[in-house]
Amino acid sequence: ILNVEQSPQSLHVQEGDSTSFTCSFPSSNFYALHWYRWETAKSPEALFVMTLNGDEKKKGRISATLNTKEGYSYLYIKGSQPEDSATYLCASKAGDFGNEKLTFGTGTRLTIIP
Amino acid sequence: DSGVTQTPKHLITATGQRVTLRCSPRSGDLSVYWYQQSLDQGLQFLIQYYNGEERAKGNILERFSAQQFPDLHSELNLSSLELGDSALYFCASSVAGGMDEQFFGPGTRLTVL
């Protein structure tokens, strides 16, 4: 993996269903994995920052896991609600010491169907 | 409201011109980041400043420059503008700049005609 990749690109989920999506990132020179929620016409809002292999974070109905050895993270949303409709971005912080950069994926666009 | 402010919200200018985008970080945050989002592209990291010093550099063009002032606000200068520079420019800030989450401003929409 050379870049940060997210799948799927878009997703339609029925209200009340649970869903998950994936972020893949290069595992070399890795420092941290960020998840952001980006609603239309707004700016990205931080959800989680994870650094250690096996990290799990939770905020309400949203949770995330991190596998730094194989270079992937999952974001889970339980019992989707219309307000969960947004683009979910992941970003990997990596690079040489002193020049670490945050590289964003292109996002998963989630639409919740009432 | 993230606490990060950016001005102006919108900017329309002509090719060849120079513009300055301004960002004020959240109170207490020492790091400022600049990102560019062009049509059909994800957020591209341009540059980071930490407490007045350049900390990390991304794919920032030579025509672009930035600085962070003693009061921690930052400016992004874009010169010799081209049509392809039309984009949404975000500023973000974080407490220290290590593994902290970043707080994004509302963005400046730049249109180059």
B/e letters for A46-78, b = 16+ CB within 10 Å, e = fewer, are bbbbbeeeebebeeeebbbbbebeebbbbbebe
| Subunit contact A103:B90, Cβ cutoff 8 A | no
Q: Three-state DSSP class for B65?
A: strand
CB A82 within 8 A of CB A114: yes
Q: What is the pLDDT along chain B (113 residues), one digit of tens a residue?
A: 889 999 999 999 999 999 999 999 999 999 999 999 987 788 999 999 999 999 988 889 999 999 999 999 999 999 999 999 999 999 999 998 777 889 999 999 999 99
CB nearest B45 (choices: A49, A98, A102): A102
Test B99 with A103 for CB contact under 8 angstroms. Answer: no
**In angstroms, what separates the C-alpha of B113 from chain A's closest C-alpha?**
22
| Interface touch B58/A101, C-beta < 8 Å | yes
